[in-house]
Amino acid sequence: MNKLEKLILETYSNVKEQDRNTKKLSELPKAFVSSLEKRYGAVDMKNDFVSSDLDTYFKTSNVDKTTGRIDHKVINLPSF
């Protein structure tokens, strides 16, 4: 296995690990999504997500139509 293949596999592994630590907005109650929308503006149901412990909201700030790159604004949610 060459260095490039190893790098790609390691990066893919990290991405898959991050997927398990997040939740899509579609997986959450509508009341929670509505409260995010009231506080932080319109939500992007396709690209926005939250951490699995619901303490961080990743709000889409930019989508590059050429490359498909998505930038997020990281918002720490209040916890009680």
C-alpha span between 49 and 46 (Å, rounded): 8
Does residue 68 lie in a domain region? yes
How far apart are alpha carbons 72 and 61 in whole angstroms? 5
Average pLDDT over residues 12-23: 65
For the chain, what is the domain count?
Answer: 1
Q: What is the pTM of this model?
A: 0.71
Provide the 3-class DSSP secondary structure of residue 7.
helix
Which is nearest to 25 in space by CA: 10, 47, 3? 47
Closest CA to 22 of 1, 45, 52, 48: 52
**Residue 14 counted as domain residue:** no
Reported confidence tier of residue 3, pLDDT bands at 50, 70, 90: confident
Q: Determine the structural domain holding residue 34 and report its residue range.
A: 22-76
Min mean pLDDT across 1-5, 52-56, 75-79 is at: 1-5
Output 3 or 13, whichever has higher pLDDT.
Answer: 3
pLDDT for 75: 94
Q: pLDDT-based confidence at 7, cuts 50/70/90?
A: confident
Domain contains 38: yes
